[in-house]
Amino acid sequence: MNTKLTKLAAGIVLGFGIAGSAHAGALGIADLTITAFGLINVGTGQPITSGIAITSESRTGIAGSNYNGVDGTGVGPGSISVFTPGASVDVKYRCAGPDCGSISGLYGGVLENNTTTHISSTPAGNYAMGDMFIAGSIIGATGGQSLTRADASANGPTNSGGSNATILNSAQALVQLIALDNVNVALALSYDVFVKAFLDPLNPGEKGIASGGTNFSVTVTSIDDPTFTLLNFTPTPLNQGFTSTNPTENQEFSQSGTATSDTRTLHAGRRYNLTITQASNATVQLIPEPTSIALLGLGLLGMGGLSASRKRAKA
């Protein structure tokens, strides 16, 4: 056998094996907090606290996670629906993955309903976590508050995970303005959003993907006001999505601020429907590809053996 070629092939296989032991990482983050959300009187700039009654409302909150094919666990159900106007929905965080028991420190010791801590560093474990809550009402001095968080981290192959959190809120309001025939209103909110897709430099023979995305939209229609024009409120900073399959595609968005919708006129005695959707989603995956590398090594070894056989045949 060609000894030099054999050693070269073995060295290539060994070299790829050594490179593969230095694991890469992936991080997908999608955190969206609405700290205040309400209906304001455009004329006064103040929240509307009277004259409008929420006659019916349904709220559904969902949070989930999955890591390497295993669903995450948490306290209580992963989906909760309520039908009392203004009632709170709080799905306790669901975590999946081998490092769930040791990630509390990454979040400052608070995993449940953490609205301020964002994982902005490199991947620090193997887990996926989803969390959500909604409380309050858009009719009132303090308005409504909500959180959707989806965080996923992979630190080395073979690991893959995903998490999600969703709020579906549908309300019907009857405008009961006593002193005015109509009022010009707008939706206003304060928010904190953090979205990230991050991959460490990948090793030879590895593939990776990281993604994070948030969504927030409000639709207002009228049941019996023929003059009302459909209102769609989708603030750009709250609707972000990134995917990275290569470190050059890594992206991060972080912003706190306020947003206000277009103005509409509400008329006394008329009914209006309000539908709110808020969601966060994150995924990570690291996949080693040793097969092609092993085949390359075996091919080189085969070439060495064939060369030696030919030499013996000629002799």
Pairwise CA distance, residues 182 & 170, whole Å: 23
Quickly tell me which residue has 């509409």 as its tokens: 264
Pairwise CA distance, residues 30 & 235, whole Å: 16
Q: What is the pLDDT of residue 7?
A: 42
CA atoms within 13 A on the CB side of 141: 0
Q: What is the pLDDT of residue 298?
A: 38
**pLDDT, tens only, 69-114:** 999 999 999 999 999 988 999 999 999 999 999 999 999 999 999 9
**Mean predicted lDDT score pLDDT of the chain:** 84
Tokens representing residue 82 in the block: 């309520």
- Whether residue 245 has a cis bond before it, omega within 30° of 0: no
Pairwise CA distance, residues 113 & 277, whole Å: 18
For residues 205-223, one letter each, b for 16 or more C-beta atoms within 10 angstroms of the residue's C-beta and e for the rest, the string is bbebbbbbbbbbebebebe
Q: Backbone phi, then psi, for 181, in 5-degree steps? A: -80, -30
Predicted model pTM: 0.84
Q: Backbone phi, then psi, for 165, in 5-degree steps? A: -150, 135
Instruction: Judge whether residue 55 has pLDDT over 90.
Output: no
Strands 46-47 and 25-41: antiparallel
- CA distances to 63, 200, 220, 234, 281 from 240, rounded to whole Å, are 19, 21, 22, 11, 11
Pairwise CA distance, residues 29 & 114, whole Å: 14
Of the ranges 21-30, 205-214, 250-259, which one carries the lowest mean pLDDT score? 21-30
Q: Backbone phi, then psi, for 61, in 5-degree steps? A: -120, 135
**pLDDT, tens only, 203-215:** 777 899 999 999 9
Tokens representing residue 272 in the block: 């209006």
Q: How many CB atoms lie within 10 A of CB 67?
A: 26
Instruction: Judge whether residue 257 has pLDDT over 60.
Output: yes
